[in-house]
Amino acid sequence: MTESYSTEAAHLEAILLVGGQGTRLRPLTLSTPKPLLPTAGVPFLAHQLARAHSFGVRRVVFATSYRASMFAEAFGDGSAFGLSLVYITEESPLGTGGAIRNAARALTSGPDAPILVLNGDILSGHDISEQVGLHVARRAAVTLHLTEVDDPSRFGCVPTGEDGRVTAFLEKTPNPVTNRINAGCYVFQRSVIDQIPEGQVVSVERETFPGLIESGELVLGYADRSYWLDVGTPAAFVQGSCDLVLGRLASPALPGPCGESLALPGSRVSPSAKIAGGTVIGPGAVVESDASVRGSVLYADCVVESGATVADSVVGVGAHIASGAVLRDVVIGDGAYVGPGNELLAGARVWPGVRLPPRAVRFSSDG
């Protein structure tokens, strides 16, 4: 096992990539960037920032683009997390590499320092100190966190040699050569970031990493089997929130004890309601008698009436689910109304403010 890096002594800096528009999570992201969506009771990034601090990170540069001002409004100077936060905005999207290069102008570390790069849509339980320690010990150009998945054909896979050296970045293929994939957390040598072209659209996955490998630079893989989840889809977003509440992934930012549910201050839940599966009940939300809510995220001020069923779903701010309605694996936008008798299934999405009148019809993403 690699020795952990003394991040406390080194004042490790990090770049946090949060510029995406989160189109796969619409309508949740129409008004809120994906990394700020309430997740297990706090903005998603609160979990990443708290974990980064626990591994000795003390300064974070946000690489923002979509609704950039909302990040500073949410986290300010970072003092609540014991961090110093800086915000750098892209005038136009620059890709992953371009965003890292653009944010690097706010770094204070020297050319030989390790720089942690985090993606703002990943939940991970891996040991950041070990990853940084491996990078420093081997004097790598870049060290990537790799995770193992059951179906690597849905991802680009990353084969490595016996010494951990990354040998290639392979696009999605029906017959992957390995089940290890890029997990989206990198440690760069600062000087390597400075070599990325400035002000240009650059992909680290398609350009920077393959280019380093081709030129003979040491690109390492830090592989482990800890908890890992990309929360880019509604189903994964709900799963991530529930896993945090259930304690499947520890987070210093969780605003309450782990358990079957997390009821935030100001929420009201009837004693006869059935709440389970890591459900979060947002501030001001109401769950009435005999309602059933399992494995779901209820945003602030929403209402789930008596006898309604909500499973594996997100109910937006101020939305109203009428008595007898059934939601399974769906997203309900802010202020929407789902009338009695509606049964919404299998990926259906209701846009903000939409009203579904009482009826006995099933809705799903398949029509």
Shared-domain flag, residues 64 and 159:
yes
Question: Cα dihedral sign for 349, 292, 260, 319?
Answer: positive
Q: What 3 state SS string does 166-190 have?
A: ECCCECCCCCCCCCEEEEEEEEEEH
Residue 34 annotated to the active site: no
pLDDT of residue 331: 95
In a domain, 71, yes or no: yes
Shared-domain flag, residues 207 and 299:
no
CATH of the domain at 176: 3.90.550.10
State the Cα angle at 361 between 293 and 23, rounded to 5°. Answer: 65
Token pair belonging to 275: 């709440």
What's the pTM? 0.87
From 172, 268, 355, 359, active-site residue: 172
Per-residue pLDDT tens digits for 151-204: 877 777 898 898 999 998 887 777 777 888 889 899 999 999 999 998 889 998
How many domains are there within the chain? 2
On whether the CB atoms of residues 132 and 187 are closer than 8 A, the answer is yes
In a domain, 45, yes or no: yes
On whether the CB atoms of residues 284 and 301 are closer than 8 A, the answer is yes
CATH of the domain at 292: 2.160.10.10
Shared-domain flag, residues 27 and 154:
yes
CA–CA separation, 151 vs 49, rounded Å?
29
Per-residue pLDDT tens digits for 295-310: 999 999 999 999 999 9
- Provide the residue range defining the domain that includes 182: 7-230
Positions of the chain with pLDDT under 70: 1-10, 19, 21-22, 66, 360-367
On whether the CB atoms of residues 219 and 165 are closer than 8 A, the answer is yes
